[in-house]
A and B are shown apart, each in its own frame.
Chain A
């Protein structure tokens, strides 16, 4: 009874409009960024060259910025905004106004940065490492994106706070709680990148100062850069923990376990940025090692998630009468795109996670650092686990928001889409991993490196990447067809926004999980502990600052 009424709960149409606005930007970024990805693999195969003086590092910047920053941030903000609306009963008009302001500020910032990249004023890749120097409008645009995301995220926090006030002593709805954890983590993390952009890169690109402290700016970037990847991942986990069980007809294995794992992600995602700087001189190895230990703490909530998903599936399967060790696996709803598309994402997280543990293993990082293995790794994490889950979400969320239905034909096309993606990624990411182990560098156009023997070994793998990239691009075309269909052409109707219930609803989540003073306090303490001393050391023993460099060809 409760379930059947809950199924009818709709996101308020005014909130739906704002979510859809985010999705239009996100899927436009996917279209353009996907084309760049294809071109990159073609260039790297050595069989094709970019026309009209377009430069490899320019399209690589476009790809990284659009896929890594624009697609993700806009999709996540749109999804979380809808999830909070759905589970709290809707946003207030003040929160909605904040959401719209945030959206527009982010969009203006995106357009400013994009214009500079297209004018070849900012081929600095999506990490914009100093001493590569972009036009100041690029950095100002990024500032707008960050500030806009804070305002946008404030909408979710406002609505969450109102719900808490109206329901004293009650644990908040799981999806809202998760969305707010992710937004809070994002705000704490972006303080670092905002600091380097505002205090270092903007004054430097404006010519107010001549030099920049490279290590300080890279350290502030990676203080942000690691939680960035968890900011991408947690919305996928929201779907896996709290939505997928409903889609398959099962229950959440444990509501408290889900909340605890999100809190652990908040605590341990931030004080670990040094694991991206393990080969970097100028940072005390003892502090690198300490952050490596904290990095391994993140393995705990990841494995908790794996356990709880397996358990949800097994419980459901056995309730359907499945027997034996793995009988439950067979009765899962393999014909339902809302399930299988994110499921392929989950499966990809197994090799992705294993690769991540290798990357983080202090000394072993030397085997893979700055090789194309890394690119292979995050095309499994971000470009498969995360985006396939995002696609799977949009296949029901877009029609839910536009008052349409996911038809049988589109459901089938969506399943094909996910398999095409999977096959393309096996080729592309697989060959990137191997080429990386053979020493092939990332962020590199085609080169024979002066006829080197070792570089010749890499070429077959680069050709395999082009094959995979072509298949993946077909996958992107399918996603776009489905998205446009669901947004504009699918038949009118009702599509459910699935929200799962816990297996034991009488077991209320402990209220300590909602104690923000406590969790933010521990987060701050861990960050201060992990960063204060090494950061003082970095500043006190800094080499002379560097002037700016522009290594790329200009128009």
Chain B
């Protein structure tokens, strides 16, 4: 029992160290931000011209 707990702990830590999950989330956030601003000005454009 105790052994399994130890094993899972170690596994998560290993995964965490080399993980770039946060980077992936950040670039997605960046992409979404760019698209949202672009689309809002695009609607302004469509409205005016």
Interface residues of A (CB under 8 A from B): 303, 306-307, 310-311, 314-315, 317-319, 323, 325-329, 350-351, 353-355, 357-358, 361, 363-364, 366-368, 437
Q: List 7 A-B contacts (CB under 8 A).
A: A311-B20, A314-B22, A353-B34, A354-B38, A355-B37, A357-B38, A364-B45
Residues 29 to 49 of chain B near chain A (Cβ within 8 Å): 30, 33-34, 37-38, 41-42, 44-45, 48-49
B23 CB within 8 Å of chain A: yes
Chain A residues closer than 8 Å to B23, beta-carbon distance: 307, 310-311, 314
Q: Are B49 and A350 in contact (CB under 8 A)?
A: no
Q: Are B34 and A366 in contact (CB under 8 A)?
A: no
Chain A residues closer than 8 Å to B37, beta-carbon distance: 351, 354-355, 358
- Across the interface, A310 reaches (CB within 8 A) one of B27, B33, B41, namely B27
Chain A residues closer than 8 Å to B21, beta-carbon distance: 325
Q: Are B22 and A326 in contact (CB under 8 A)?
A: yes
Q: Are B34 and A367 in contact (CB under 8 A)?
A: no
Q: Are B48 and A328 in contact (CB under 8 A)?
A: no
Chain B: minimal CB distance from A300 (Å):
13
Q: A326's closest neighbor in chain B, by CB?
A: B22
Q: B27's closest neighbor in chain A, by CB?
A: A307
Q: A363's closest neighbor in chain B, by CB?
A: B45
Q: A306's closest neighbor in chain B, by CB?
A: B30
B11 CB within 8 Å of chain A: no
Give a binary string over B1-40; 1 marks a CB under 8 Å from any A CB, 0 the rest.
Answer: 0000000000000001111111101110010011001100
Q: Are A358 and B27 in contact (CB under 8 A)?
A: no
Q: Are A303 and B27 in contact (CB under 8 A)?
A: yes
Known: A306-B27, A318-B16. A361 touches B22 (CB 8 A): no
Do most interface residues of chain B lie in helix, strand or loop, or is the interface mixed? helix
Chain B residues closer than 8 Å to A317, beta-carbon distance: 22
- Across the interface, A366 reaches (CB within 8 A) one of B22, B30, B49, namely B49
Chain A residues closer than 8 Å to B48, beta-carbon distance: 367
Do most interface residues of chain A lie in helix, strand or loop, or is the interface mixed? helix
Known: A306-B30, A307-B23, A311-B20. A361 touches B38 (CB 8 A): yes
Q: Given the complex of chains A and B, what is the CA–CA distance between A342 and B47 in angstroms?
A: 38
Q: B29's closest neighbor in chain A, by CB?
A: A350
Known: A318-B17, A323-B16. A310 touches B44 (CB 8 A): no
Chain A residues closer than 8 Å to B33, beta-carbon distance: 350-351, 354
Q: Given the complex of chains A and B, what is the CA–CA distance between A353 and B17 in angstroms?
A: 30
Q: Given the complex of chains A and B, what is the CA–CA distance between A336 and B31 in angstroms?
A: 29
Q: Knowing that A358-B37, A368-B41 touch, tell me 20 more A-B residue pairs with CB under 8 angstroms.
A: A303-B27, A306-B26, A307-B27, A310-B23, A310-B27, A314-B23, A318-B16, A318-B17, A326-B22, A326-B25, A329-B22, A350-B30, A350-B33, A354-B33, A354-B38, A363-B49, A364-B41, A366-B45, A367-B41, A367-B49
Known: A310-B27, A325-B22. A357 touches B34 (CB 8 A): yes
Chain A: minimal CB distance from B47 (Å):
9
Q: Given the complex of chains A and B, what is the CA–CA distance between A363 and B42 in angstroms?
A: 9
Q: Given the complex of chains A and B, what is the CA–CA distance between A355 and B49 in angstroms?
A: 20
- Across the interface, A328 reaches (CB within 8 A) one of B18, B22, B27, B42, namely B22
Chain A residues closer than 8 Å to B38, beta-carbon distance: 354, 357-358, 361
Chain B residues closer than 8 Å to A318, beta-carbon distance: 16-19
Q: Given the complex of chains A and B, what is the CA–CA distance between A13 and B32 in angstroms?
A: 48
Chain A residues closer than 8 Å to B49, beta-carbon distance: 363, 366-367
Q: Given the complex of chains A and B, what is the CA–CA distance between A326 and B22 in angstroms?
A: 6
Q: Given the complex of chains A and B, what is the CA–CA distance between A437 and B27 in angstroms?
A: 27
Q: Given the complex of chains A and B, what is the CA–CA distance between A314 and B18 in angstroms?
A: 9
The 9 closest A-B pairs by CB, nearest first: A310-B23, A354-B37, A310-B26, A314-B22, A354-B34, A311-B23, A364-B45, A358-B41, A314-B23
Chain A: minimal CB distance from B34 (Å):
5
Chain B: minimal CB distance from A257 (Å):
13
Chain B residues closer than 8 Å to A306, beta-carbon distance: 26-27, 30
